[in-house]
With several copies, the nearest count.
Chain A
Amino acid sequence: MISFSITDKEIDSSTLKEKLGTAEDGAILVFEGVVRNHNEGKAVKSLFYEACESLASAEAERIMTEAVFKFGLSRIVCVHRTGHLNVGDVAVFVGVSTGHRGEAFAGCRYLIDEIKHRLPIWKKEHYLDGSHEWVNCSHHGHNAKHEHGEVSV
């Protein structure tokens, strides 16, 4: 069972976690990316996430299939939030279950890394000083490949 979705509603981790785990699974691992009150030295007030849902869903399906193949994951549940988020809100949920913990840690880490690098999801940070910025879009041109790989959590 693998599942990815995008939602503009609050992420309900408890309900999502219930989808993980079978009688063969000894390890459940859940990662949550949460809005912090600062990023790269600036005080963050709120965030706005925007996604290209059709492309994100297609690419997420590829990422999850890779993770099953590489790490033998039994179940995967991923959800990414869009819209306006405040400090403390969950922006992304990545839950996995499988037989042993080694694969759970490696697989969950793979999923969140690839989600951050590959999915067409964008983040605008609103700062306490009133300014705002599309993250990773401000310094461009010379090292685009690196910028695509830049991540905040």
Chain B
Amino acid sequence: MKTIKIRYFAMLREETGKDWEDLKTNASNLVELFDELKGLYHFSLPREALRAAVNNSFCDWQEQLKDGSEVVLVPPVAGG
């Protein structure tokens, strides 16, 4: 088991009701983590509509997770 900090923004913040959480998980990569979270929160956005970042860098969904990693799930952006 590892502990992953996950931060939620915009639509995902509203759907989870959380700004962030520490999740104990066996997920080895971002795909498995997303599937686990989708089971908990029934996100309306599919994974294909999101990007993910680990420790302040955008990553491939295949990125492996380490204990203590901070993950941001990034819904479609609209800055500017």
Q: Please list the residues of chain A having a beta carbon within 8 angstroms of any beta carbon in chain B.
A: 33, 49-52, 54-55, 58-59, 80, 91-92, 112, 115-124, 134-137, 140-141, 144, 147-148, 150-153
Contacts and interface: CB of A to CB of B under 8 A. Distances in A.
Interface string B13-45: 100000000000000000000000000000011
Interface residues of B, number: 24
Given A52-B7, A120-B9, A134-B11, A144 B76 contact: yes
Contact of A135 (B44, B57, B78): B78
A51 B53 CA distance: 14
A80 B77 CA distance: 13
A137 B45 contact: yes
A52 B72 contact: yes
Interface of B: 7, 9-11, 13, 44-46, 48-51, 53, 56-58, 72, 74-80
Contacts of A148: 51, 76-77
B43 to A, nearest CB: 10
A66 to B, nearest CB: 14
B56, B75, B79, most chain A CB atoms within 10 A: B79
A131 to B, nearest CB: 15
B61 to A, nearest CB: 12
B49 A119 contact: no
Contact of B76 (A80, A92, A137): A137
